[in-house]
Amino acid sequence: MDLGNYWLDITPDSFPYIDIDTDGFASGTIYATFTLRTKHVTDVSISLPRAAGGTATVDYPYGPPGSVTTLTASPASGYAFSSWTVVDDGGGYLDSSTDNPVDFTFGYDNATVLPTFTQIVPALSQITVSASVGGSATASVASGMPGTIVSLSASATNGFAFLSWIVTDAGGGSISSTTENPAAFTLGNADATVTATFAGNPTITTLKNIEGGSVMANPTSGNSGSSTTVTAYSRLVTPSCPGS
């Protein structure tokens, strides 16, 4: 006996086991029908919290799972972009944690990505102070951040006087005056070199004539360490005759 055709609606509750009672009758044909149930997919979002040192933007903050959006980090002044920190990927992923901009692929849930920034610390600038013959020079500090004001002081040795400051290499900085002592030097973005110069104090050569001649100097004055020419002149003395 032919049972005929039987149509069964296979549901998730009955699948994969289905009992069919034929009561001992002959075999027939059983057909199963399946219904494709599509899940309604809603857009998911991505949020970018504000971080210390900068901000971040996203081209499309919402999208269906599998779609791609682009994240861009913008550091504030004095900061540099460091990396992306995925707080919650929502099943999605970043193409790279260090690229900027970077693509993010949405998952099936909302995501949160945090940009991180690093503060830029300028390198210290050095200042080298030297002195010419006749004295010494010092700086209040040997290094500092660009914009730091350094006090320069010159001390002359005996017989010399401070003359001026010579800035060999300013390094982007500046000096308040080349003739003042002390002077203020503002550090730039690079190392600087300054030299204090000195001059000897003028001295006068005093010559004393002696009996029977005289002496002369040329020149009669000059700075310490300079030379002069001394010439002695004799004077003819006529002896007197006794009784004359």
**Beta bridge mates, 225:** none
Residue 140 has pLDDT above 60, yes or no: yes
The whole-angstrom separation of Cα 140 and Cα 166 is 17
Q: What percent of the chain has pLDDT over 90?
A: 59
Which amino acid makes up residue 22? T
- Confidence at residue 40, expressed as pLDDT on a 0 to 100 scale: 43
pTM (predicted TM-score): 0.47
- Confidence at residue 123, expressed as pLDDT on a 0 to 100 scale: 86
Report the 3 state secondary structure along the chain.
Answer: CCCCEEEEECCCCCCCCCCCCCCCCCCCEEEEECCCCCCCCCCEEEECCCECCEEEEECCCEECCCCEEEEEEEECCCEEEEEEEEEECCCCEECCCCCCCEEEECCCCCEEEEEEEEECCCCCEEEEEEECCCEEEEECCCEECCCCEEEEEEEECCCEEEEEEEEEECCCCEECCCCCCCEEEECCCCCEEEEEEEEECEEECCCCCCCCEEEEEECCEEECCCCCEEEEEECCCCCCCCCC
Express each pLDDT in 186-219 by its tens digit.
999 999 999 999 998 766 556 566 666 676 777 7
- Confidence at residue 44, expressed as pLDDT on a 0 to 100 scale: 87
- Confidence at residue 81, expressed as pLDDT on a 0 to 100 scale: 96
Burial class (CB in 10 A: 0-12, 13-18, 19+), 224: middle
End-to-end CA distance of the chain: 194
Which residues make Cβ contacts (< 8 Å) with residue 121, sequence separation at least 6? none
Please give the structure tokens belonging to residue 201: 């104090």
Q: What is the mean pLDDT of residues 141-166?
A: 95
CB 200 within 8 A of CB 160: yes
Q: What is the mean pLDDT of residues 155-183?
A: 95
- Confidence at residue 38, expressed as pLDDT on a 0 to 100 scale: 43
Express each pLDDT in 26-79 by its tens digit.
555 656 665 544 444 578 899 988 889 999 999 999 999 999 999 999 999 999
Which residues make Cβ contacts (< 8 Å) with residue 242, sequence separation at least 6? none
Q: How confident is the model at residue 224 (pLDDT cuts 50, 70, 90)?
A: low
- Confidence at residue 187, expressed as pLDDT on a 0 to 100 scale: 96
Q: What is the mean pLDDT of residues 11-24?
A: 52
Residue 12 has pLDDT above 80, yes or no: no
Express each pLDDT in 79-131 by its tens digit.
999 999 999 999 999 999 999 999 999 999 999 999 999 999 888 999 999 99
Average pLDDT, the chain: 81
Q: How confident is the model at residue 244 (pLDDT cuts 50, 70, 90)?
A: low
